Amino acid sequence: MTTDQVAVPSEHDVVKAGHDAPATGMGVSNTKLAMWLFLSSDCLFFGAFISAYLFYRGRPQPGPHPADVYNIPFTSVTSFILLMSSLTMVLALAAIMRGDYRRLRVWLLATALFGATFIGGQVFEFTEFYRQGFTLSKNLSGSTFFVLTGLHGAHVTAGIIWLLSLWGLATQGRLTSRDSERVEIAGLYWHFVDVVWIVIFTVVYLIPK
């Protein structure tokens, strides 16, 4: 077990003391709790940038405006790919829990590849936007759009590196079902990043005005 819960009073301590004092811990994994706390914190981080985007979107500013350059079909495809990467991620988790290490490696790699495809798609998309004159420094929306999606992309990239590291460990046989939680926690991060994109795609790309 990777998350050695040091300092958790052992049964030995309790029995020796001869008391019946109730256990008081929440009884969950420390690392998982830590990841969830971090994710709730990250909500406030992304919220700030989404708010900045929404704030500046309606303001008078020189073009091009986001709506002028968006390629919804294209972004729908990349969004779909990211969404499917959540599926492959959770299948990877199911695989390691069953001890199916071949599928673990397959699904981990698939998730990383889908993520990389998403990033690739964004790179292409942004290059297109720049070509059309919608840039980071062009106007208010350019700044808020590129920073928001860029930071999201940075989160995805960090996730890809994390997944590839897990995949690397798995190929060396260093990831067994006892390490399921490590995959689960990477998965929580990955799903969160996907969920943030669900919000961004809706609020930034789709919602009119």
Partner 1 sequence: MADESAPAGTATETDPVEAPADEQPGTALAPTEGTAPALVEPQVPMLPGEVQPHPTPVKYVMIAAILVAVTAAEIGLYYLQGDVPDGLIIVFLLTFAVIKFGLVASWYMHLKTDRPIFRRFFVLGVVAAISLYLIVLTMLHVFSP
Partner 2 sequence: MTTVSDTVRAPARRLRVLRRPQATTGFWSWFTTIDHKKIGIMYGTTALAFFVIGGVEALLLRLQLAGPNGTLLTAAQYNELFTMHGTTMIFLMGMPLAVAFGNYLIPLQIGARDVAFPRLNAFGYWGFLMGGLFIYSSFFIGGSAPNGGWFGYTPLTSTPLGRGFLPGHGADFWAVGIVMLGIASTTSAINFIVTVLQLRAPGMTLMRMPVFTWMMLVTAFLTLFAMPIITAALIMVYFDRNIGTNFFQPAAGADPLLYQNLFWLFGHPEVYILILPGMGIVSEILPVFSRKPLFGYPVVVFSGIAIGFIGWGVWAHHMFATGLGPVAISAFALSTMIIAVPTGVKIFNWLATVWRGAVRLKTAMLFALGFIAMFTLGGLSGVLHSVVPADTQQTDTYFVVAHFHYVLFGGLVFGLFGGFYYWFPKLYGRFLDERLGKFNFWTMLLGFNLTFFPMHFVGLLGMPRRTYRYDTGLGWDFLNQLETIGAFVIALSVLAFIVNVMVSRRHGQVSGDDPWDARTLEWTTPSPPPMYNFAEIPQVEARDDFWHHKYTEDETGHAVRLPSGAAVAVEERPAGGDGGGEHGGEEHGDGHGIHMPSPSYFPFIVALGLPILGYAAVFQAVWLVPIGALVVLFGMYAWGIEPQTEP
Size of the site for partner 1 (CB under 8 A): 72
Name the one residue in this structure whose structure tokens are 């940038």. Answer: 49
Which CB, 7 or 209, lies closer to partner 2? 7
175: phi then psi, degrees, rounded to nearest 5: -120, 110
Number of neighbours of residue 204 by Cβ within 10 angstroms: 23
- Residue choice 17, 47, 61, 131 for contact with partner 1 (CB under 8 A): 47
118-177 residues in contact with partner 1 (CB under 8 A) are: 176-177
* CB 160, min distance to partner 2, A: 13
Which CB, 139 or 194, lies closer to partner 1? 194
Which CB, 90 or 116, lies closer to partner 1? 90
Helices (H) and strands (E) in the chain, counts: 7, 0
- Residue choice 69, 89, 110, 204 for contact with partner 1 (CB under 8 A): 89
Residue 172 interacts, among partner 1, partner 2, none and using kind-specific CB cut-offs from 5 to 8 Å, with partner 2
Q: How far apart are CA 104 and CA 178, in angstroms?
A: 13
Q: How far apart are CA 57 and CA 144, in angstroms?
A: 9
Distances (CA, A) of 18 to 10, 12, 13, 30, 159: 13, 10, 9, 27, 47
Tokens of 8: 């958790």
201, 75 in Cβ contact below 8 A? yes
Annotate each residue in 26-65 with x if it binds partner 2 (CB under 8 A) or - if it does not, as one string: x-x-x--xx--xx-xxx-xx--xx--x--xx--xxx----
- Residue choice 25, 60, 137, 173 for contact with partner 1 (CB under 8 A): 25
Q: Give yes or no for residue 16 binding partner 2 (CB under 8 A).
A: yes
- Residue choice 68, 76, 174, 198 for contact with partner 2 (CB under 8 A): 174
